[in-house]
Structure 1
């Protein structure tokens, strides 16, 4: 029973991440999230008594963990090879979703925080960006980059990739991602 309960909770979180990356947080209701996950509305409030902000924060963490796993795996081959693989993953995500899916972390980060309390989802987004920057900076330092330069380059990579994904969605074309990839590869290759 506990395993089934955990499965339902995970479906809700994964479904929320998917809806947020497609529609944004403000355009997604808890009722729609429950329907998308194929779970009763009551289950959503049972698992997430903190409501939409709690669910959104967990969805952001879920998505962030998935991206972190991809980054950590791909960066084992080195910063440039890792960047190429990471950008190829984003390219597939964009093309396979017909440019409908972006990054739920960015979606939450650019929306106005709720006026009714602590913006849990926004805090989760800030944490996700920080983790990604740390993963990238560690990989750069492991390959001989000075600590300060590694930190700055990691921030640049995260910001550039997130921005490129947004541009690709708007233009319905991977050209912005390709342009950013070329410049970032040249930067990391130095």
Structure 2
């Protein structure tokens, strides 16, 4: 299946029984959340965006919108993590380039209509005092990305505390820059952020 959030489209994919695949529904939800946020998106709209019947969506996600949103966040998290794991084998600079390239592809391919669904969920105001599952999943995803980057920085000479600080800064800077790109309808913010983060990585692994 085409990774929906990477190309700004939903490709019709069905199981052998003719029903929409679970992954397609999750990917479609991730794409829609990345465009409209979570509160402005209903489970009915997510199902329609994924070209899936509402009944099939509830079959896979009986707990409704929060369950589907949680899976969409995790789907995005693992999609990004797979790319990071592969690229970080060549070092933290390669991982940074891959991280930036993923989000550049999304904002460009969707004509600046989509951003990061994990960030979109993270900035939602909880309806109650309890932490919603989707918000908890977003925190886990950010931790995962930071952990991968920090691990690579440590492997290439950074001490543990510095590696953690720089990894957090990279994730925060890139996520925020994606929002700037959408607002300005330009990738120039990503170019500027990339240049400064590259300088920071070079300084971190050399000292």
TM-score, normalization: structure 2?
0.86
Gaps of 5+ in 1: none
| Separation in structure 2 between the aligned mates of residue 118 and residue 158 of structure 1, nearest angstrom | 22
1:17 matched to 2:27? The reply is no
| Separation in structure 2 between the aligned mates of residue 38 and residue 55 of structure 1, nearest angstrom | 15
Displacement of 1:185 after TM fit? 0.3
Farther-moved stretch of structure 1 (175-184 vs 53-62): 175-184
**Gap change, CA 1:6 and 1:126, over 3 Å in 2:** farther
1:49 matched to 2:66? The reply is no
> What do the CA deviations read for 1:37-84 (whole angstroms, capped 9, x no partner)?
111111111211111000000000001110111111111111112212
| Separation in structure 2 between the aligned mates of residue 104 and residue 2 of structure 1, nearest angstrom | 25
2:141 corresponding residue in structure 1: 128
Aligned residue runs from structure 1 range 20-169, under 5 A: 20-115=33-128, 118-169=131-182
What RMSD, in angstroms, separates the aligned Cα atoms of the two structures?
Answer: 1.9
- Secondary structure of the residue aligned to 1:113 is coil
Farther-moved stretch of structure 1 (31-40 vs 6-15): 6-15
| Separation in structure 2 between the aligned mates of residue 59 and residue 3 of structure 1, nearest angstrom | 23
Displacement of 1:132 after TM fit? 0.3
**Gap change, CA 1:155 and 1:115, over 3 Å in 2:** same
**Gap change, CA 1:34 and 1:137, over 3 Å in 2:** same
Farther-moved stretch of structure 1 (107-116 vs 137-146): 107-116
- Secondary structure of the residue aligned to 1:159 is helix
Farther-moved stretch of structure 1 (157-166 vs 44-53): 44-53
Gaps of 5+ in 2: 1-13
**Gap change, CA 1:183 and 1:109, over 3 Å in 2:** same
| Separation in structure 1 between the aligned mates of residue 34 and residue 146 of structure 2, nearest angstrom | 20
Larger relative helix fraction: 1
4+ long deviations beyond 4 Å? 1-7
TM-score, normalization: structure 1?
0.94
